[in-house]
Chain A
């Protein structure tokens, strides 16, 4: 059963956001990592690169030989990338919504957050996909 943390916002592309002022920490949801299976490789943007809402900012390959593009929930500049993933990509599976975070973005438009879902809204959204009790 995936975890839906109340302190996060969620996109319909299965990415979570933790907001701290103008900064957004971003990762994939527990639901997404369950769907993906064992993560083998991750490609993330470089620090200072610019990402756009609804555009891919990286990729993940799982053991099922599937590459999933990561769709950004916000626009902004990448200020930090989780270097711990280089040492152990497994934390994306084991702790996706905390230590398995991916990037921190300095947001350009905080209004973009209005389109994201809270934990209950995201839970209802994935329920519609039919794979969560």
Chain B
């Protein structure tokens, strides 16, 4: 999460080409939307009991259990050759590439045309319970959830591509309306699918990330070059880890002293490599 934001902030300050990044999680973890309440939407008791980390995203949307999935991130300026200044068009541009990747696996995926709200069924805390417009569906069931943050003419879109899905596990860590756990679980099972659910076969995140990268390259007629974080991005990432993404005040309460909108970089770290055009 810190790397995603460091790339986003750095692009605002220094410019540069679009970045496509893939990453996984050392162990299953819950990411929650920028405005979500852990008090009313997350089952913190179960998270603490089972050692489930909770991290608050810089992007919108609802809670995602990162387990059997591939997380992607796209960071770009709006108004680049690949993206307009229009929020929805940018969603569409990224999701078109993802659709191409799913097609490589023989999965027919379409964009949702309208938002299917989950409030009335007590599902509103869960990202995968209902699609926003232009999110990805296979046979009407959500297979990838995405969210954005935009600032100063740049955007970060990241999302979770489901390789497999365990509705019961998601429900365990996200609060449904009182006493409706079974109903929530049943609804989620019907509303969500995964690569395994569609093909009957498991796929590892690494080969699928290669398929997704090639889909972007084919769609945009470009080649990505693997790049490490710059020293400035590394430094900013470290600072964000320290002050924000390892800080319970941010992750649980959405509060933070300074660095809410960091712009000045500092000191270093490195893990997954971003690919830049």
Taking Cβ atoms with an 8 Å cutoff, the residues of A that contact B are 13, 35-37, 40-41, 43, 55-56, 59, 61-69, 71, 129-131
Q: A55-B263, A56-B151, A71-B152 are in contact. Are A129 and B146 (CB under 8 A)?
A: no
User: Is A64 in contact with B151, judged by CB distance below 8 angstroms?
Assistant: no
Q: Are A63 and B34 in contact (CB under 8 A)?
A: no
What are 7 A-B contacts with C-beta separation under 8 Å? A37-B87, A62-B87, A64-B88, A64-B134, A65-B148, A67-B148, A68-B151
The answer to whether the Cβ of B86 comes within 8 Å of any Cβ in the partner chain is: yes
A-B contact count (CB 8 A): 75
Contact A67 B86 (CB under 8 A): no
Most B CB atoms within 10 A — which of A43, A55, A67? A67
Contacts of B87 in A (CB 8 A): 35-37, 62, 64, 66
Total interface residues on B, using CB and 8 Å? 30
Interface hits, B139-192 → A, CB 8 Å: 146-152, 155
Which residue of A has the minimal Cβ distance to B35? Answer: A41
Q: Report chain B residues within 8 Å CB of A129.
A: 79, 85
Q: How far is the CA of A89 from the CA of B242 in the complex (A)?
A: 33
Beta-carbon contact of A59 and B132 below 8 Å: no
Q: Are A67 and B150 in contact (CB under 8 A)?
A: yes
Within the complex, the shortest CB–CB distance from A25 to chain B, in Å, comes to: 22
From residue B164, how far is it (CB to closest CB) to chain A in Å? Answer: 23
The answer to whether A63 and B151 touch (CB under 8 A), given A55-B261, A56-B261, is no
Question: Do A35 and B86 form a contact, CB below 8 Å, given A65-B147, A68-B150?
Answer: yes
In the complex with contacts A35-B87, A43-B35, A59-B34, A66-B60 CB distance below 8 A: yes
Q: In the complex the two chains form, what is the Cα distance from A129 to B79 in whole Å?
A: 8
Once bound together, how far apart are the Cα atoms of A62 and B59, in whole Å? 11
- List chain A residues, Cβ under 8 A from B18: none
With A13-B152, A55-B261, A129-B79 as known contacts, state yes or no: A67 contacts B88, CB within 8 Å: no
Shortest distance between the CB of B62 and any CB in chain A (Å):
8
